[in-house]
């Protein structure tokens, strides 16, 4: 089955700086890669996703890049704000339509 690895497990940045979280996957059949943000006491919420026919997608301060050859994808958050502090999960899904999640990155934005 699919194996998704996520790094780093914790990340602290100063407010206004950029944050980058990286994930790798093992199954070349995976073709859908969502990113979720989980705040304390809440369920994960989708913040951005990308499909395998696209190399990059951007939504305001958030962007995701995908390198199919290397089987890795990354989340980029620019101009970070304290409300960006949360746990972020990457995921991969393929032909089986099951989602395989990374182990999470705890992001802290220091005011």
Region 35-94 residues binding another protein, contact defined as CB under 8 A:
36, 38, 41-46, 49, 51, 87, 89, 93-94
Distance of closest approach, residue 80 Cβ to another protein, in angstroms: 19
Is there a contact between 35 and 46 (Cβ–Cβ < 8 Å)?
yes
Burial 71-105 (b: 16+ CB within 10 A, else e): bbbbbbbeebeeebbbbbbbbbbbeeeebbbbebb
Let me know how many helices (H) and strands (E) the chain has, helices first: 0, 11
Count the site residues for another protein by CB under 8 A.
26
Q: Whose Cβ is closer to another protein: residue 80's or residue 93's?
A: 93
Distance CA 42, CA 5 (A): 23
Q: Which stretch binds another protein (CB under 8 A): 18-26, 64-72, 75-83, 96-104?
A: 96-104
Distance of closest approach, residue 110 Cβ to another protein, in angstroms: 19
Region 2-41 residues binding another protein, contact defined as CB under 8 A:
31-32, 34, 36, 38, 41
Among the listed residues 16, 82, 98, 110, the single contact to another protein using CB under 8 A: 98
| 18 CB neighbour count, 10 Å cutoff | 11
* 1 contributes a contact to another protein by CB under 8 A: yes
């Amino acid at each position: 089955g699919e194996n998704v690895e996520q790094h780093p497990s914790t990340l602290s940045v100063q407010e206004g700086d950029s944050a980058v979280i990286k994930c790798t996957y093992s199954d070349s059949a995976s073709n859908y890669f969502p990113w979720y943000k989980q705040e304390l006491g809440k369920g994960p919420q989708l913040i951005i996703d990308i499909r395998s026919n696209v190399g990059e997608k951007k939504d305001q301060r958030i962007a995701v890049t995908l390198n199919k050859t290397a089987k890795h994808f990354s989340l980029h958050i620019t101009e970070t704000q304290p409300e960006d502090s949360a746990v972020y999960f990457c995921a991969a899904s393929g032909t089986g339509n099951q989602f395989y999640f990374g182990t999470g990155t705890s992001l802290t934005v220091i005011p």
